[in-house]
């Protein structure tokens, strides 16, 4: 297996840079979707695993030639995968220190993602900018490799201990270093593959069947696309910490929308330009000229955000990058930007192919004007303005993340409408960020709203679904698939999770349902969730006390699917207490003509006064039974009522051990209750 397939790129060494000290690098080793603390140590070991990767003095003044980081990955290690991730240097365990006479060593890392001033420190500032950006920098003595080795208990702790003992090499031990490192790397590689789920994906609040990055901050999903059997999820990502900043596109792939494999950063902040939200298309006709070897390629269309500085004001422009290896490596277009209005707020392009006029369509927001602009292009490079939409609906905050999608009407596969979804921050229905949608028609140039401009339709009635996007590349005739960011800008930087902050909603299928007042969006979890079902509990009856006894005896959990049908009868309110323990719980139910989720008593809520909340959605059911599908995943509660007529997404942070499920009613007894509960298996195991 060639090195480049694993993200390493061999180049001729650049001219030496005197006086530079290399103190950081990015790479992580993992098996499938698994990453963790063992991976961090193995990544360090890999630096010396290849023949000639590191040339160090043998002691006694013996000289050794400098060698670049290049070579071929041994075939016996092909069962695991190398992925990009920033390692936290400083304050950790000292893995190895080479502080003798070391000749210049050329490090060639791809994709590099250095934090300026932290990853590479130059004593004399002589690290040339071009060399730096290429990920090519020579270093001289001393060379220190440090890492944070947060070992788990038991077998992992013993492995770390043995590895660190073997790595305590003195100045005269350099001659044995490469051999020792190679042997340890081989052993730990096998151990990492055998361990299964690392601790990194098993923290108390870590969702087990929703995507979240192994560590650091994430917000909006970006560039969702299906291509050659893989669903690609790009997302706003800070490779350097768990708060917003250094925005780049993280990247994960899946074949079923649930089992995700985290890949290296796809598009990195560069030259002071952050990578904001956008979309990815498959250029099957090579209209862009970016595709190689007569095959389709992936093209990302994204907002470049240049923050305000002493030299210039804030600027947002639309840009391109392309990939000819299924998104594993990317090249930014040398002609960027392709669309520039010289504005500080002009962002979040959604792009798709319009076959009748054989051109690309872009929907992009003017946030402060509460408008969505539409552009057309034959080649993704030259854009012509076609029309605009807005203001309309809710205008209490900036408009962001527009998505224009053709959606089937339920019961009539020949009938469709176009749904224009727009994010709003602040000004969401429940406070903070939220999303609205418009239903109408699109003729290839202009979107026409099918409702009065004052009509406001909300995509999700909870507090924690924002910037939801649909996948490009889904076959015509299939129901579109949408994923959103599961958080709210009111408190996203404060939620009590580590080492990650931010996660995605469950992927949802979309269709429209004809109601007396017009077409309304319907959302349901993707069918792949059913394949995660494990232990099953089922109950039918009218006695709530009997139901709760059976629930307590037969099933408890914090990652499960609950489907219930309840006739409210004379009860004022009916519902479910979820993630219950010691008087703390999150409720999901129905009362006073509304579906609701109440997390005011859910557990940990004090990190923000905006977090404790009861969210509600009007829902008239008449004498029909209340139908609820509820997905719970440690810190997430997603409710779909009446077959997806209402969707409501909320975070919750329950106390330790909160696993009980209880049914309740107030001021009267309900009628017949039907419930099925399935434990859902972790997708990280």
Catalytic residues: 220
Reduce the DSSP state of residue 503 to 3 states and report it: coil
Return the axis-axis angle of helices 155-166 and 174-195, rounded to nearest 10°.
Answer: 170
Q: How many residues does the structure list for the chain?
A: 685
CA 38 to chain centre: 22
Chain position carrying tokens 């590349």: 473
For 297, residues 6+ apart whose C-beta sits below 8 A from its C-beta are 282, 283, 286, 288, 290, 291, 322, 323, 324
Reduce the DSSP state of residue 37 to 3 states and report it: helix
Angle (CA) 30 244 261, round 5°: 20
For 80, residues 6+ apart whose C-beta sits below 8 A from its C-beta are 29, 30, 31, 189, 192, 193
User: Cα separations (Å) of 580 from 419, 553, 587, 640, 657?
Assistant: 38, 15, 9, 20, 9
Angle (CA) 601 607 609, round 5°: 70
245: left (phi over 0), alpha (psi -120 to 50) or beta: left
Backbone angles phi, psi at 55, to 5 degrees: -105, 115
Element (H, E) at 387: strand 384-389
Going by C-alpha positions, the residue among 54, 429, 467 that lies closest to residue 221 is 467
């Amino acid at each position: 297996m060639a090195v480049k397939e694993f993200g390493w790129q061999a180049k001729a060494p650049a001219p030496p840079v005197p006086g530079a000290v290399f103190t950081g690098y990015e790479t992580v080793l993992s098996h499938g979707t698994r990453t963790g603390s063992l991976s961090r140590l193995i990544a360090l070991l890999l630096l010396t695993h290849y023949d000639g990767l590191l040339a160090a003095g043998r002691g006694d003044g013996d000289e050794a030639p400098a060698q670049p980081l290049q070579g071929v990955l041994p075939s016996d290690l092909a069962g695991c995968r190398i992925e990009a991730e920033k390692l936290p240097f400083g304050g950790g365990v000292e893995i190895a220190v080479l502080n003798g006479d070391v000749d210049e060593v050329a490090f060639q890392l791809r994709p590099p993602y250095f934090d300026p001033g932290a990853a590479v420190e130059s004593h004399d500032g002589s690290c040339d900018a071009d060399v730096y950006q290429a990920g090519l920098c020579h270093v001289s003595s001393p060379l220190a490799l440090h890492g944070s080795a947060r070992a788990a208990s038991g077998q992992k702790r013993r492995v770390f201990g043995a590895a660190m003992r073997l790595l305590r090499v003195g100045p005269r031990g350099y001659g044995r270093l490469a051999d020792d490192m190679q042997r340890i790397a081989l052993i730990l590689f096998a151990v990492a593959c055998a361990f299964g789920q690392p601790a990194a994906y098993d923290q108390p609040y870590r969702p087990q069947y929703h995507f979240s990055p192994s560590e650091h901050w994430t917000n909006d999903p970006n560039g969702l696309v299906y291509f050659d059997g893989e669903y690609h999820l790009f997302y706003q990502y800070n490779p350097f910490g768990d708060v917003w900043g250094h925005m780049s596109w993280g990247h994960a792939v899946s074949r079923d929308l649930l089992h995700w494999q985290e890949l290296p950063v796809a598009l990195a902040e560069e030259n002071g330009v952050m990578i904001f939200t956008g979309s990815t298309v498959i250029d099957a006709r090579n209209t862009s000229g970016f595709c190689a070897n007569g095959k389709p390629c992936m093209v990302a269309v994204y907002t470049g955000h240049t923050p305000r500085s002493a030299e210039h004001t804030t600027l947002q422009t639309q840009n391109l990058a392309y990939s000819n290896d299924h998104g594993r490596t990317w090249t930014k277009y040398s002609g960027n930007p392709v669309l520039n209005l010289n504005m500080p707020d002009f962002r979040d392009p959604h792009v798709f192919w319009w076959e009748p006029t054989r051109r690309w369509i872009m929907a992009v927001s003017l946030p402060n004007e509460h408008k969505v602009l539409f552009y057309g292009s034959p080649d993704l490079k030259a854009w012509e303005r076609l029309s605009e939409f807005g203001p309309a609906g809710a205008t209490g905050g900036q408009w962001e993340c527009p998505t224009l999608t053709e959606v089937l009407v339920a019961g009539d596969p020949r009938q469709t409408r176009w749904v224009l979804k727009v994010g709003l921050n602040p000004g969401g229905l429940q406070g903070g960020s939220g999303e609205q949608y418009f239903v109408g028609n699109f003729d290839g140039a202009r979107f026409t709203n099918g409702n009065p401009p004052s009509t406001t339709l909300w995509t999700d009635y909870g507090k924690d679904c924002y910037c939801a996007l649909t996948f490009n590349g889904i076959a015509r005739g299939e129901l579109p698939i949408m994923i959103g960011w599961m958080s709210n800008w009111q408190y996203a930087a404060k939620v009590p999770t580590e080492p990650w902050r931010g996660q995605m909603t469950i992927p949802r299928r979309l269709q429209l349902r004809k109601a007396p007042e017009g077409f309304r969006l319907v959302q349901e979890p993707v069918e792949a969730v059913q394949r995660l079902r494990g232990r099953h509990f089922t109950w039918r009856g009218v006695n709530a006390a009997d139901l709760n006894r059976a629930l307590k005896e037969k099933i408890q959990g914090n990652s499960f699917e609950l489907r219930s049908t309840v006739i409210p009868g004379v009860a004022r309110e009916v519902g479910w207490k979820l993630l219950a323990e010691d008087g703390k719980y999150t409720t999901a139910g129905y009362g006073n003509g509304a579906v609701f989720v109440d997390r005011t008593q859910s557990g940990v809520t004090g990190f923000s006064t905006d977090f404790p909340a009861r969210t509600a959605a009007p829902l008239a059911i008449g004498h029909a039974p209340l139908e609820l599908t509820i997905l719970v995943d440690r810190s997430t509660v997603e409710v779909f009522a009446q077959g997806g007529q209402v969707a409501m997404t909320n975070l919750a942070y329950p106390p330790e051990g909160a696993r009980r499920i209880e049914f309740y009613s107030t001021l009267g007894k309900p009628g017949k209750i039907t419930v099925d509960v399935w434990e859902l298996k972790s997708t990280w195991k």
